[in-house]
Amino acid sequence: MNIVALAGGVGGAKLADGLARLNPPPALTVIVNTGDDFNLFGLHISPDLDTVCYNLAGMEQRNTGWGRADEGWDVYQEIQKLGGPDWFRLGDKDLATHLERTRRLGSGEPLSKITADFCRVWEIDPAVLPMSDDPVPTIVLTDQGELAFQDYFVKLSCEPAVTGFRFQGVENSQPTPGILQAIQEADLIVICPSNPWVSIEPILAVPGIRSALEEKLVLAISPIIAGEAVKGPAAKMYLEMGIIPSATAVAKHYGNLLDGFIIDKQDEGLMKVIINRETHPLKVFCADTWMKTREDRVRLAGEVLDFGQQIIEEV
Ligand code: GDP
């Protein structure tokens, strides 16, 4: 099967990794959010892209899901001693990625080409495509004013109350070369269990991507389980935007884009409500969606593809 997955950071990376480890693996393209990208020490940092790549290469830090395993912190500690910014933890190995990426971007190469070359070195089989080679920084609108995404997310630990989001410059951005073709050729689109507001929305906002997806069979996995996010501010964002966080809210969020939706077993009680929603009917599948181990990722990925296959056959 030919799959295109849409992913943010940790939640997206885990499912993308599960899909890539299936036996046999599907032909997989992962489109990754770059709205979180930012600059620190003059370095271009792409947190979601790196999280996806490190997971696909099997070299992620297991307890956090982001950063590198067996990481060294010499540079970080020296920066701390010097009184430099230490709110964003950059490990020594991780820094090599940012240094080399920044050097190549500075010489005019696009992010997608650099990412593809890094993936080759890290022996990553799936195609990993940043959503755009153009910068589209996410701005979080909050009760403390407009905040750059990482200032909100890491520096302020998601504490400000959110009132909205802006994807700066998105109207003039273009999808990375290859994205629209990959979508066109896909049998199934999988929206990973990533934050709908700040991981998936930025991808859908890049001109051309949403309309290309509307032509395809699209499945999503809820990042909200029993009213809470597994990690991060997704549930808090729903509340602050005046919506009760639930798998139902996520299904509503993606609206008519979805043909199928996978919710956690803990939310089985919501199944009927989601199936019978007012917009076009949705096929819903219940699974154990909390990926705590590598085996969980592969098992869930297998269930996602089986459910996708079932929907393909019914259409
Ligand atoms: P971030 O950029 O690292 O925040 O990454 P994502 O947007 O990809 O992931 C964050 C979202 O993924 C949160 O809303 C989590 O609730 C969700 N998430 C993380 N791990 C899991 C998991 O194992 N299962 C499910 N269903 N959701 C998850």
CA of 108 to the centre of ligand 1 (A): 33
pLDDT digits (tens, 9 = 90+) for 171-187: 999 999 999 999 999 99
Residue 154 CA: distances (Å) to CA of 90, 265, 278: 12, 31, 38
Ligand 1 mean position, distance from CA 87 (Å): 21
Task: State the alpha helices, DSSP H only, in 42-154.
Answer: 47-56, 74-81, 92-106, 111-121, 149-150
CA distance 156 to 158: 6
Q: Residue type for 307, please? A: F
Residue for token pair 């509340």: 239
Pocket flag, ligand 1, residue 289 (CB < 6 Å): yes
- The alpha carbon of 249 and the centre of ligand 1 are apart by a number of angstroms equal to 15
Give the residue whose CA is nearest to atom 1 of ligand 1. 9
Query: For the chain, how many structural domains are there in total?
Result: 1
Is the shortest distance between the CB of 53 and ligand 1 below 6 Å?
no
Give all strands (DSSP E) within 94-206, no chain letters: 127-130, 138-142, 145-148, 162-167, 188-191
**pLDDT value, residue 279:** 66
Is residue 202 within 8 Å of residue 170, measured between CB atoms? yes
Please give the residue range of the domain that contains residue 57. Answer: 2-314
Q: What is the pLDDT of residues 290-306, one digit of tens each?
A: 999 999 999 999 999 99
Per-residue confidence band for 289, with pLDDT thresholds at 50, 70 and 90 = very high
Distance of CA 148 to the CA centre of its chain: 18
In a 13 Å sphere around the CA of 178, the CA atoms on its Cβ side amount to: 17
Q: What is the atom index within ligand 1 of the atom nearest the CA of 229?
A: 16
User: What's the CATH code of the domain at 245?
Assistant: 3.40.50.10680
Tens digit of each residue's pLDDT (9 = 90 or more) over 33-74: 999 999 999 999 999 999 999 999 999 999 888 999 999 999
Claim: this prediction has a pTM higher than 0.95 = yes
